[in-house]
A and B are shown apart, each in its own frame.
Chain A
């Protein structure tokens, strides 16, 4: 059974940084691309970033480009999202999602339960 467990969320002041983690199990982690998707309070889903199976290809939404950085450690079956220069509008539940294939052109077939990030002074 695929399990994705996010951690690292919390309350942070605007302009500060936070690093999210996603621990994966139940599948061969380095066979699949991974993504981060967020959902603001009472809002819809927003794709944030994706990374290919070997970390060689990454993509970012315009809203987070140059501020967020996605990475993975296949030896640790883990996905990360480094979030810098956080803004109030980054407040959201952040979901880790597994791609259906190796490249970032595959959609997302399994999701974690999310971790809440609140950006506020």
Chain B
């Protein structure tokens, strides 16, 4: 159960697009279409932004999109806004009824 690998930080200017990668193994990300992404603002509980690799829960902006290729999943945020500044975590099912999170990525909107 090793944590998925995410960049520690990414940044972008308002209106730009950014992509956060999430690298796992063939035992988790590469083996299941059960990758989700969570947004967490300081002092707040996480919020589901993407599930099953690329699906958006109702109420989540279509500026958020997800994809996967092999053992790496990605979250793309287009039309960056100040309110998008937060920590983002990927998460994958990892078999045997267990889940694994990424280390988290701090998004800074310049």
- Name A residues whose Cβ lies closer than 8 Å to a Cβ of B: 35, 37, 44-47, 50, 57-63, 95, 100, 104-105, 107-114
Q: Are A45 and B46 in contact (CB under 8 A)?
A: yes
Tell me if B69 counts as interface (CB < 8 A to partner A): no
- Name B residues whose Cβ lies closer than 8 Å to a Cβ of A: 1, 3, 34, 36, 38, 40, 45-48, 51-52, 57, 87, 89, 91, 93, 96-104
> Are A100 and B51 CB-contacts (below 8 A) given A61-B98, A108-B36?
yes
Q: Are B97 and A107 in contact (CB under 8 A)?
A: no
Q: Are B45 and A112 in contact (CB under 8 A)?
A: yes
- Residues in A with CB closer than 8 Å to B93 are 105, 107
- Residues in B with CB closer than 8 Å to A59 are 96-99
Q: Are A105 and B101 in contact (CB under 8 A)?
A: no
A96 to chain B, nearest CB (A): 10
- Give 19 CB contacts A-B under 8 Å: A35-B99, A44-B89, A44-B104, A45-B46, A45-B104, A47-B98, A47-B100, A47-B101, A50-B98, A58-B97, A59-B97, A59-B99, A62-B1, A63-B1, A100-B51, A107-B36, A107-B48, A109-B51, A110-B48
